[in-house]
Structure 1
């Protein structure tokens, strides 16, 4: 009898363990949460095919690389509440509800009225919605072309590109505080946001192309050149062509002096985060980068990655030294000139950055422990912002499949191969540029021998 009892107990124990294992496997495969680490007795490692952190997904130049990788945090559930903003004369009219995205399908199936309940909360495919009217009636612009492409279901015209004074409310702060870094207001005090964004209170602050009426010269379409810093531009002789556009966008370590023949001389929009700006000034000083370009037409577009971006923005507008943080005591005029005004300063909306990540560049990095620091590169944000505001976009100096033939930057004196890091996914970005080019949504500059085979 004792032997039978022991045998029965052993069978029961094995059956229980088998049931528990099967249950764990089911939950891990069917719930949209991180893997259940304790089911296997140790932390489960992603398969090699997932390209996790052991094989960096992305390159980033020194100007985009964070000094330290912040620890991953588990974010609280997303709040799906809407926000009512007061109407303002001649400004976008916000809708009364924060709009949520449906599946990435053609527009007729994209109802945008239900929450993606199967996605983890840190994705946050829910955004503020505004009635944003186009600045032109371009007959053959991006807005009309995109409806005929596979991007129709992903492309949103109602997500605000820029944030400004009307966006700062306690309700929005509560909602966006669940997203860290460039994708929200996580870790940023409401007082800091209010003090900074309250000075961005004119039409120039919510329009990326605020002076279009002065530039149009009877043109029906807004033509924009977006200039990256890639080595493919060396000896390209594209300078005059770049400068012939209505607007010229640049970012980070954009060195112009001495390279005008290849990259042009004008800059209407300079995109950066405080971190990438400081790193660029350190890393590329010997190559000739002294800071952002200065000109009457130049606008400075902050990509808010940290609280320090809001602090530098406030200091620049008020013409006072930065009062706290890593840049404490620094005079913002050394970066933007003495005559910088609120009208020349802009800041991307975190909903827009998160929308770009979720809809256009949803990398496998989001399934790793580095999900909190992954974002589209500064150049990618700049190019996709142009895609959402210009009628015609030409991209120069962005990575192409033959990138190994060129140095990392057009101003490198010796060859430096492209580096890949986890906080961006440059391979995915490279594929995206090819797709947008083939769909006719952008015109991507490629080497003649390579580009001629892409049609």
Structure 2
């Protein structure tokens, strides 16, 4: 009898236990999301050890394995602003056009397939007008949203009939499919639409419009409304014939130029690009004297004035042929650009009350001002300079150096490009800048990957897409 009671009690306890487990499972099912879609994991980008360009006058963080960026070197101006992490979701209401292609460098390979936003604008003698394309459905998110390998597109006819220029030669190299010929290098008034603002507001710093509300964007970019603003080489018709190749010299500030005697050669190009703390007076024999395009951000301009005044930098070059190309790293750049175009004082921000003619001369006008398109800067980062920094804590402060943006802009615009004063593998043999009074070794910082840039310059030189000045 006792045995039967024990078995009965055991069965009762088993039934109660099963009932409890069932109730628990039901509750858990209701608490879980109804979607059965698997979690999406962020892609990890592989990156090699090599390469970099020259932009050492620009404020940067030293590269480090620490979780937070340390202070900048005491010999370099500090980075005055850090970009906050902005988490975004893909907006599939955008008009899109798919580009295909493989990464150009072994050090920047990615298995993702990109769907590229294209606001197709057609340009002849008139300004480009927006012509949206039919939307194409992406295969699904395969990259972190901040990468944003999607871009607007413009169909601008070539300015020359150069038979062996970069645009035709690039298709024969491993850069071919990564090189987007229709991506606008500059931004201007007609790029500002509510749709583009929503898209580009996903991206921080120089890679988008996250720092700008729509009204401010309209007010600032509305002054860039002529062909002089959307063409980097807007005065070519006054310089050469249709059949002549456009030759551009892009001059960095690296110490390799000291005693180079390349000044006459540099000035012999149709266009001469310079950047940041470009000291010319007293160094003409090595670096030339002409400047047709001066690239900078407001932050790097102010830091260059503070840091290099003692060695002769008094501000941007000022001449009749000089154009000023803003790299829009902050809202400061838009505000200074608007003030320069309208000959008014900067209305707010860190430069509030400053007179832009102090930097760009009394003859500065909207026709002399240009501004890089954030799509172009993000494209350079994603397809040419995808650093392993993008995998870490400092991804939101990383961007291509100002010199790198300038050089790649020339490669996307000119027929022939010669680069001077950019980092080469023997960089340790030269001082940081050609105008240094004593030797200063090159310092590396986390918001640029100069080693990666150096490798890119070597490969572009090897592929015949540019001619890089090297001692060896």
User: Which interval holds the TM-score relative to the shorter structure?
Assistant: 0.7 to 0.9
Q: Work out whether residues 346 and 355 of structure 2, in 8 Å CA contact, stay in contact via their aligned partners in 1.
A: yes
* Residues 98 and 229 (structure 1), Cα distance of their counterparts in 2 relative to 1, 3 Å cut: farther
Q: Distance in 2 between matches of 1:285 and 1:99?
A: 52
Q: Give structure 1 regions of 4+ aligned residues with deviation exceeding 2 angstroms.
A: 49-53, 59-65, 67-71, 83-89, 91-95, 97-100, 113-117
Alignment equivalent of 1:441, drawn from 440, 443, 465:
465
- The equivalent of 1:229 in structure 2 is 253
Match of 1:126, SS state, is coil
- The equivalent of 1:264 in structure 2 is 288
- The equivalent of 2:404 in structure 1 is 380
Q: Work out whether residues 235 and 262 of structure 1, in 8 Å CA contact, stay in contact via their aligned partners in 2.
A: yes
Q: Work out whether residues 224 and 366 of structure 2, in 8 Å CA contact, stay in contact via their aligned partners in 1.
A: yes
Alignment equivalent of 2:128, drawn from 84, 89, 92:
92
Answer yes or no: is 1:207 the counterpart of 2:231. Answer: yes
* TM value normalised by structure 2: 0.79
User: Which structure's CA Rg is the greater one?
Assistant: 2
1:160-185 C-alpha deviation (Å, 9 max, x unpaired): 11000101111111110000000000
* TM value normalised by structure 1: 0.82
- The equivalent of 1:79 in structure 2 is 91
**Cα shift at 1:187:** 2.2
- The equivalent of 2:115 in structure 1 is none
Q: Distance in 2 between matches of 1:94 and 1:63?
A: 43
* Residues 52 and 266 (structure 1), Cα distance of their counterparts in 2 relative to 1, 3 Å cut: closer
1:391-444 C-alpha deviation (Å, 9 max, x unpaired): 000000000000000000000000000010110000000000000000000000
Q: Work out whether residues 401 and 430 of structure 1, in 8 Å CA contact, stay in contact via their aligned partners in 2.
A: yes
Q: Distance in 2 between matches of 1:420 and 1:184?
A: 25
Q: Work out whether residues 332 and 349 of structure 2, in 8 Å CA contact, stay in contact via their aligned partners in 1.
A: yes
- The equivalent of 1:253 in structure 2 is 277
Q: Work out whether residues 64 and 275 of structure 1, in 8 Å CA contact, stay in contact via their aligned partners in 2.
A: no
Q: Work out whether residues 89 and 145 of structure 2, in 8 Å CA contact, stay in contact via their aligned partners in 1.
A: yes
Q: Distance in 2 between matches of 1:444 and 1:425?
A: 19
1:56-77 C-alpha deviation (Å, 9 max, x unpaired): 9xx9997785234444x14211
- The equivalent of 2:364 in structure 1 is 340
Q: Work out whether residues 146 and 203 of structure 2, in 8 Å CA contact, stay in contact via their aligned partners in 1.
A: yes
1:3-59 C-alpha deviation (Å, 9 max, x unpaired): xx9xxxxxxxxxxxxxxxxxxxxxx9971169xxxxxxxxxxx99x99974189xx9
Q: Work out whether residues 161 and 348 of structure 1, in 8 Å CA contact, stay in contact via their aligned partners in 2.
A: yes
Q: Distance in 2 between matches of 1:375 and 1:98?
A: 31
**Cα shift at 1:142:** 0.3
Q: Distance in 1 between matches of 2:319 and 2:461?
A: 31
Greater Cα offset, 76-85 or 355-364: 76-85
**CA RMSD of the aligned region, Å?**
3.1
* Residues 62 and 171 (structure 1), Cα distance of their counterparts in 2 relative to 1, 3 Å cut: farther
Q: Work out whether residues 161 and 242 of structure 2, in 8 Å CA contact, stay in contact via their aligned partners in 1.
A: no
Q: Work out whether residues 261 and 287 of structure 2, in 8 Å CA contact, stay in contact via their aligned partners in 1.
A: yes
Alignment equivalent of 2:383, drawn from 356, 359, 371:
359
Q: Distance in 2 between matches of 1:142 and 1:416?
A: 35
Answer yes or no: is 1:178 the counterpart of 2:202. Answer: yes
Match of 1:235, SS state, is coil
Q: Work out whether residues 267 and 293 of structure 1, in 8 Å CA contact, stay in contact via their aligned partners in 2.
A: yes
Greater Cα offset, 274-283 or 90-99: 90-99
**Cα shift at 1:276:** 0.4
Alignment equivalent of 2:65, drawn from 54, 61, 80:
54
1:63-116 C-alpha deviation (Å, 9 max, x unpaired): 785234444x1421132402767877623354524999xxxxxxxxxxxx8467
Q: Work out whether residues 166 and 465 of structure 2, in 8 Å CA contact, stay in contact via their aligned partners in 1.
A: yes
Q: Work out whether residues 132 and 157 of structure 1, in 8 Å CA contact, stay in contact via their aligned partners in 2.
A: no
- The equivalent of 1:432 in structure 2 is 456
- The equivalent of 1:135 in structure 2 is 159
* Residues 86 and 410 (structure 1), Cα distance of their counterparts in 2 relative to 1, 3 Å cut: closer
For structure 1, which runs of at least 5 residues remain unmatched after alignment?
6-27, 35-45, 101-112, 451-455
How many residues align? The count is: 400
* Residues 238 and 52 (structure 1), Cα distance of their counterparts in 2 relative to 1, 3 Å cut: closer
- The equivalent of 2:33 in structure 1 is none
* Residues 97 and 420 (structure 1), Cα distance of their counterparts in 2 relative to 1, 3 Å cut: farther
Alignment equivalent of 2:169, drawn from 112, 122, 145:
145
* Residues 260 and 75 (structure 1), Cα distance of their counterparts in 2 relative to 1, 3 Å cut: same
* Residues 445 and 99 (structure 1), Cα distance of their counterparts in 2 relative to 1, 3 Å cut: farther
1:107-152 C-alpha deviation (Å, 9 max, x unpaired): xxxxxx8467211111000001111211111001001110100000
Q: Work out whether residues 312 and 332 of structure 1, in 8 Å CA contact, stay in contact via their aligned partners in 2.
A: yes
